[in-house]
Structures are given as structure tokens and as C-alpha cells.
Amino acid sequence: MRYAFIERHEQVWPITVQCRVLAVSASGYHQHRARSEAPDQPGRIRDMALLVHIRAVFPEMKAAYGWPRLWRELGARGIHAGKERVRKLMKANGLQARGKRKFKATTNSNHTLPVSPDLLERNFSTSVPNRVWTGDITYGAPRPNRGGI
């Protein structure tokens, strides 16, 4: 607001006098002028254009990516923007990654249903091939570290 007043009244009063009266630095005013007169930086994408790209990539990733992964994905696609800019645009537009679901145990051993009998009685050795078949239904049990094996 002050800089606009100074700019409008450049022909009436000297810039340094206006800056002193309005309590702004003359160098700040000149920097403001340089920024407003300078053409856009090449390769700099405006917020609205960046938001269009974010909104295009976000559903492609099934809304599972937060701002860090989305920022990296945009960079990989040749759209360069700052991390904070991507974060703030996503937050301002309500784009939030879906959180991970809580683990829910699905096995309930406390039941009265019939249990299949152990026909092998834990004897897995046979004299003839294809006589006994076994399987493992372990669901993601932690495995000990085997030293790189």
C-alpha cells in the first residue's frame, strides 16, 4: 500500500522523502519496483498452474501420497516447485493423503467350530513321493535376521 502511494506520487515528492515520511526504507521500495517490473522467472510455475498439476497427480496415486512423495513425483515429471509450496497448496485445498489402516487381527482361535484333524500327526517323512503334501499359512510373522540371507 505504501509502495503504491510512493509510486503514484513520484513526480510530486522525492522518493527518499516519501520513504522517510511513510517509515519504509528506500532500498525496500526499489527492490519492490525491481520485482514488480521484472518478467517472471523462466521455469517458475504459478500457484494455480501448480495446483492443476497437483490435482492431476493426487488421484493418480489414489490419494495415498502425502506432500513429500507428491513433491518428488512432480519433480520426476519435470514440474519443479519448492516442498513448502506444494505442502501449503495441498493443505489450503484440502488435499490430504489417506492414513494407513490400523492392523486388525482376523484370526479367532476362541471358537467352538470343528477343527480339521491332523491326519499326519506331524510325521512329514514318507517313503513314496507325492504321498504327503503340506502348506504354510503364516501371515506376516516376523522373521529373524539371518545375516543377509
| Cβ(18)–Cβ(30) below 8 Å | no
Say what the pLDDT of residue 135 is: 77
Say what the pLDDT of residue 12 is: 92
Could you tell me the end-to-end alpha-carbon distance of the chain, in angstroms, rounded to an integer?
68
Say what the pLDDT of residue 106 is: 79
| Cβ(74)–Cβ(53) below 8 Å | yes
Mark 57-96 as b/e (b = at least 16 C-beta within 10 Å). bbeeeeeebbbeebbebbeeeebebeeeebeebbeeeebe
Say what the pLDDT of residue 52 is: 93
Say what the pLDDT of residue 143 is: 61
* Residues 84, 90: Cα–Cα separation, whole Å: 10
Residues (pLDDT < 50) of the chain are none
| Cβ(125)–Cβ(109) below 8 Å | no
Say what the pLDDT of residue 131 is: 84
